[in-house]
């Protein structure tokens, strides 16, 4: 039987063949700003509206202490495909001193399948989640909205408020958390960082009466916001529900609000839409808008000043691949990261 030698590589056709780039969280932080991420996510959503993406997909598994999920998507014009594997273990900080969310993003060259980079996913996940809320607020929140409420004052709450302040001229914000001391620290530090008045409060109803932008970013498994609490003209970014066990919104909200989803299938199974479908408030036959359709001009955003809009955010890999592509291209230009010859 003849022995076949492997086909020699063509470096011009395989620009990644000099090795896979490894990038840590600290290296990513030096290469990717929140503003970069907002622009990248909006650009990816516009590409999705034009049919220039590999459709996002997700696979999840539960274990006793937490869960794992794999999310994939690709950008055809940038020639990159990403697969993100994240773990989510809520008690990690208290029990092990580890982050709640940990994981990796594998970025592949779409032209040849070469693994171009392996990136820490933590900071990218934080930034792209808030960036998507900012893009949603840009298209769905009232133009004159100046007051926000952030429910959940962890890392994601901080970046949510920062991102929202990039697309609306916020002058005041309210901070709520199950731990009042965390909300107070959040308020003091974010007031200084953003130059706006941020106040800790336990009175959700009073905060929501003033706020026209609300972001919920908690691990709650019961409704926190009720339909009666939302003022006309409110925009809600529902960020916390990323499994079928989590819930932040009363399903009745969807009787009075217009829903805009990041992904129909994902929201139907693990987002706030899941609970609205399960309760019968909405049905699978309802015509629901997707954020990329709004960004692409295929569906309207806000149509009335008094309209209540909810962005159901489960987090899709288009956001990850968009941010990871920016990081990789900047890392190459800066000579950052570590090369690993895995092939």
Residues belonging to the active site:
84
Residue 263, classed as helix, strand or coil, is: coil
Q: Which of 302, 284, 283, 151 minimizes the C-alpha distance to 232? A: 302
Tokens of 229: 């609490």
Tokens of 244: 């079928």
- Do 158 and 133 contact (CB within 8 A), yes or no? no
Tokens of 89: 């273990």
Bridge partners (DSSP) of residue 311 are 237, 260
Q: Which of 216, 193, 163 minimizes the C-alpha distance to 40? A: 163
List phi, psi (to 5°) of 280: 85, 5
Pairwise CA distance, residues 151 & 175, whole Å: 6
Tokens of 321: 């691949």
- Do 146 and 170 contact (CB within 8 A), yes or no? yes
The burial of 96, by beta-carbon neighbours within 10 Å (0-12 exposed, 13-18 middle, 19 or more buried), is given as exposed
**Cβ neighbours for 113, distance < 8 A, ≥ 6 positions apart:** none
Instruction: Transcribe 6-61 into DSSP letters.
Output: PPPP-TTT-TTTT-EEEE-HHHHHHH--HHHHHHHHHHHHHHHHTT-EEEEEEEEE
């Amino acid at each position: 039987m003849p022995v076949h030698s492997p086909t020699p590589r063509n470096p011009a056709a395989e620009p990644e063949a000099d090795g896979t780039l490894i990038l840590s969280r600290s290296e990513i932080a030096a290469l990717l700003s929140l503003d970069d991420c907002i622009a990248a996510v909006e650009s990816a959503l516009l590409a999705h509206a034009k049919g220039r993406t590999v459709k996002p997909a997700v696979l999840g598994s539960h274990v006793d202490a937490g869960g794992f999920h794999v999310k994939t998507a690709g950008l055809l014009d940038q020639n990159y495909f990403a697969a993100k594997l994240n773990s989510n273990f809520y008690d990690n900080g208290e029990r092990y001193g580890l982050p709640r969310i940990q994981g990796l993003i594998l970025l592949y060259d779409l032209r040849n399948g070469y693994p171009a980079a392996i990136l820490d996913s933590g900071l990218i996940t934080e930034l792209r989640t808030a960036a998507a809320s900012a893009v949603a607020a840009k298209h769905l929140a009232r133009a004159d909205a100046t007051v926000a409420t952030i429910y959940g004052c962890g890392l994601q709450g901080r970046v949510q408020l920062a991102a929202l302040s990039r697309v609306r001229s916020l002058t005041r914000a309210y901070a709520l958390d199950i731990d009042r001391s965390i909300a107070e620290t959040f308020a003091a530090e974010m007031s200084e960082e953003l130059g706006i008045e941020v106040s800790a409060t336990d009175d959700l109803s009073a905060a929501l009466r003033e706020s026209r932008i609300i972001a919920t970013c908690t691990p709650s498994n019961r409704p926190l916001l009720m339909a009666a609490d939302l003022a006309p003209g409110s925009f809600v970014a529902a960020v916390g529900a990323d499994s079928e066990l989590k819930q932040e919104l009363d399903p009745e909200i969807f009787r009075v609000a217009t829903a805009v989803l990041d992904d129909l299938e994902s929201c139907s199974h693990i987002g706030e839409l899941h609970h609205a479908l399960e309760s019968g408030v909405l049905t699978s036959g309802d015509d629901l808008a997707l954020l990329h359709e709004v960004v692409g001009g295929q569906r309207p955003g806000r149509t009335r000043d008094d309209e209540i809009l909810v962005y159901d955010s489960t987090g899709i890999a288009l956001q990850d691949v968009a941010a990871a592509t920016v990081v990789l291209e900047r890392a190459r230009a800066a000579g950052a990261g570590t090369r690993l010859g895995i092939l």
